[in-house]
Amino acid sequence: MSLPLSLKVGSAAVVAVAIAAAGYHLYADEGAATRQITDDAYVAADSTLVSPRVAGVVQTILVEDNQSVRAGDLLATIDDREYRVALHAANARLDAATAAQSVLDAQIRQHEKVVEQAKATVDADQASLKLAQANARRYENLAADGSGTIQERQTATAQLQIQGASVVRDEAALGAARREHTVLTARREQAAAETAAAKSAVEAAELQLSYTRIIAPIDGTVGQRDVRIGQYVNIARPLLALVPLQSAYIEAHFRETQLTRIKAGQKVDIKVDTLPGVRLTGHVDSVAPATGLSFSPIAPSNATGNFTKVVQRLTVKIKLDAGQRDAGRLKVGMSVVPTVNVDNGGPEHI
């Protein structure tokens, strides 16, 4: 039994429309559309893993799972007795170095007086030497014309020799005093360096002690808490994560063929799977510089005999507009469906 002509014509029309629609979707320029949408999108946030900077036994934990904290809040403490002992030892070494430096300062001041005294003695010796030289010349002249005795001349000559020897002796003492002053000054500089090193050691010990108090580096919500009282923790071992939900954004993975007209600043409508009926708004912030596959440890090589072209996806970062009450209900990892209004051009191409 043959089908009616009208039915045949209708069936042929449906098939033709289907073929035309398939051809349109296959060959149409997807990037020319005025709205670009994807369901491969999720809520993201730049979470911070909090780790200790010193090793030790956890003494207290001051936060619970999913608790909101502010930057600077105390999260946990590590037993600090060992670090306090180290700080006391560093302070003792600093006190000893400071005392040694003070002793040398006093010795230098005292020795400066010794140098001054030795210099004054040399000055006096030189004055006495000049007098002895004058007396020796005078008695020499007197003895020559018979006005003076030979004994007086000999006495004056001997006194001149004595004064000359005194000058040599006291100049040597002045030189020794000055060299000792140089030695003391060098020792004082060494003591000053040791004092500075001891101060640095104290500062380092204070810093280590401060690290026993684990502080929140950012505002956020506590997640992935993996720490218990009495637990021994090592440096850099993650204890918990802080998720800044107030700074959440959307990571949307668009096909490369959809990115033709997407620009920074374009408006985005956002539907959240968990919140039916809720509509959020945002704007395009940026596009990733490469596909996720490009950053994989083993990059694919397409230089093979058998190649199948696959449309790649790139991540578009979407920031939420401020002042939206329902934005506070978002959690990292939630599925969303963003729609970019490409006719609303941004300030620049990405």
Answer yes or no: do 162 and 218 share one domain.
no
Asked if pLDDT for residue 322 goes beyond 60, the answer is: yes
Answer yes or no: do 68 and 92 share one domain.
no
Split into its structural domains, the chain has a count of 3
Domain annotation covers residue 10:
no
Domain annotation covers residue 306:
yes
pLDDT category, 349, cuts 50, 70, 90? very low
Nearest-angstrom CA–CA distance, 52 and 59: 13
CATH of residue 219: 2.40.50.100
Q: What is the pLDDT of residues 137-180, one digit of tens each?
A: 776 666 666 666 667 667 767 776 777 777 778 677 777 777 87
pTM, whole model, 2 decimals? 0.70
Please name the amino acid found at residue 112. E
Answer yes or no: do 92 and 206 share one domain.
yes
CATH of residue 254: 2.40.30.170
CATH of residue 192: 1.10.287.620
Asked if pLDDT for residue 270 goes beyond 70, the answer is: yes
Answer yes or no: do 165 and 224 share one domain.
no
Residue of 119 and 316 predicted with greater confidence: 316
pLDDT category, 233, cuts 50, 70, 90? very high
Mean local confidence (pLDDT), 94-99: 94
Answer yes or no: do 238 and 251 share one domain.
no
- 8 Å CB contact between 211 and 92: no
Domain annotation covers residue 266:
yes
Answer yes or no: do 221 and 281 share one domain.
no
Which of 153, 187, 210 delimits the end of a domain? 210
Q: Among positive and negative, which fits the CA dihedral 332, 338, 341, 342?
A: positive
Answer yes or no: do 226 and 274 share one domain.
no
Answer yes or no: do 204 and 299 share one domain.
no
CB atoms within 10 A of CB 74: 13
Tokens matching residue 201 = 């050691």
Domain annotation covers residue 18:
no
Answer yes or no: do 177 and 103 share one domain.
yes
Tokens matching residue 345 = 């051009």
Asked if pLDDT for residue 238 goes beyond 80, the answer is: yes
Answer yes or no: do 164 and 261 share one domain.
no
Domain annotation covers residue 232:
yes
Write out the residue range of the structural domain in which residue 135 sits: 81-210
Domain annotation covers residue 19:
no
Answer yes or no: do 262 and 336 share one domain.
yes
Which pLDDT score, from 0 to 100, does residue 219 have? 96
Answer yes or no: do 252 and 340 share one domain.
yes
Asked if pLDDT for residue 99 goes beyond 50, the answer is: yes
Domain annotation covers residue 333:
yes
Q: What is the pLDDT of residues 17-34, one digit of tens each?
A: 566 555 545 545 566 788
Domain annotation covers residue 27:
no
Tokens matching residue 115 = 């140098």
Q: What is the pLDDT of residues 105-146, one digit of tens each?
A: 888 788 777 777 878 877 776 777 677 677 667 766 666 666
Tokens matching residue 141 = 């002249």
